[in-house]
Amino acid sequence: MKRKRAFTLERHRRQTQSRLIIGGLLILFGVGGGLVWLLYGRTAALTALLCLSTAAGLFGFLWLILSILELWVKEDEP
């Protein structure tokens, strides 16, 4: 029989955050890139994916900095 894990708020927060990020990226690249491909062609779609990847990388970098700052602040809490 499989034991059900107890609900923890931190695990739920992490799962929700990762699912939202993955879903957002899928929508951004799938729908955005697909529409550009449909309307403007393959070359424009590749250029758009390059630009979208750069923007996603910047957001990822900002998220990383904020996560590190969050860990740093939590270390100082009593």
Q: Which residue has the higher pLDDT, 59 or 76?
A: 59
5 band by pLDDT with thresholds 50, 70 and 90: confident
Confidence (pLDDT) at 35: 94
Percent of all residues in the chain with a pLDDT value above 70, rounded to a whole number: 97
Distance of alpha carbon 43 from the chain centroid = 25
Quote the Cα angle for 38-24-9, to 5°.
Answer: 165
- Residue 6, classed as helix, strand or coil, is coil
Percent of the chain with pLDDT over 90: 50
Task: Summarize the confidence of residues 29-58 as an average pLDDT.
Answer: 93
